[in-house]
A and B are shown apart, each in its own frame.
Chain A
Amino acid sequence: MLHNIRVRVNGEWVEACVPSHRRLLDFLREDLDLIGAKEGCGGGECGACTVLVNGEPINSCLVLAVEADGAEVLTVEGLGDAKDLDPVQEAFVQNSALQCGYCIPGMVMSAKALLIRNPNPTRDEVVEAISGNLCRCTGYARIVDAIMQAAQAADAAGPAPAGRAAGHAPAAEVSRAGGE
Chain B
Amino acid sequence: MLLPFDYVRARSREEAVDLALRAGADGKFLAGGTDLLVRMHDRQLRPQMVIDLKGVSGLQGVSCCDGEGLVIGAATPLNRLIRDEAVRSKYGLLAEAAHTVGSLQIRNRASLGGNISNASPAADTAPALLLYEAEIVTWGASGRREIPVGEFFKGPGATALAEGEFVSQIRLPVLKERSYGVYLKLGRTSAVDLAIASVAALALEGGEVRIALGAVAPTPIRVKEAEAILRSRKDEGAIREAAAAARRRAAPISDIRASKEYRLEMTEVLAARAIEQALAGLAAGGR
A residues with a Cβ closer than 8 A to B are 1, 3, 19-21, 23, 26, 42-45, 47, 50, 53, 56-59, 61-64, 66-67, 110, 113, 128-129, 131-133, 165-180
Contacts and interface: CB of A to CB of B under 8 A. Distances in A.
Contact of A177 (B6, B79, B92, B190): B92
A23 to B, nearest CB: 6
A63 B41 contact: no
Interface stretch (B66-74, B101-109, B209-217): B101-109
Contacts of B1: 21, 23, 26
Contact of A132 (B92, B186, B192, B281): B192
Which of B52, B54, B106 has most chain A Cβ within 10 Å? Answer: B106
B41 A166 contact: no
Contacts of B190: 131, 170-173, 175
Contact of A175 (B7, B88, B184): B184
B42 interface: yes
B92 A131 contact: no
Contacts of B273: 174
B281 A178 contact: yes
B41 A132 contact: no
Contacts of B251: none
**Those 4 A-B pairs whose CB atoms lie nearest each other, nearest first:** A132-B103, A177-B96, A20-B7, A177-B183
A41 to B, nearest CB: 9
Contacts of B104: 57, 110, 113, 128-129, 131-132, 168
Given A132-B102, A178-B182, 12 more contacts: A1-B6, A20-B4, A20-B7, A44-B34, A57-B104, A59-B105, A62-B38, A174-B273, A175-B190, A176-B182, A177-B96, A178-B180
Contact of B184 (A59, A167, A174): A174
22 contacts: A1-B5, A20-B7, A43-B42, A44-B102, A50-B105, A57-B108, A58-B108, A63-B109, A128-B104, A132-B102, A168-B104, A173-B190, A174-B270, A175-B185, A176-B96, A176-B277, A177-B97, A177-B182, A177-B183, A178-B180, A179-B180, A180-B285
Contacts of B181: 177-178
Interface of chain B, main secondary structure: mixed
Nearest to B98: A167
Nearest to A54: B108
Interface residues of B, number: 55
A172 B42 CA distance: 29
Contacts of B250: none
Interface in B1-45: 1-7, 9, 32-34, 37-38, 41-42
Contacts of A113: 104
B7 A3 contact: yes
A61 B102 CA distance: 15
A67 B109 CA distance: 11
Contact of B183 (A45, A50, A175): A175
Which of B83, B103, B191, B192 has most chain A Cβ within 10 Å? Answer: B103
B183 A62 contact: no
Nearest to B202: A177
Contact of A171 (B2, B32, B108, B191): B191
A173 B281 CA distance: 20
B187 A173 contact: yes
Given A21-B2, A21-B5, A56 B108 contact: yes
B93 interface: yes
B82 interface: yes
Contacts of B95: 167, 177
A17 B65 CA distance: 43
B154 interface: no
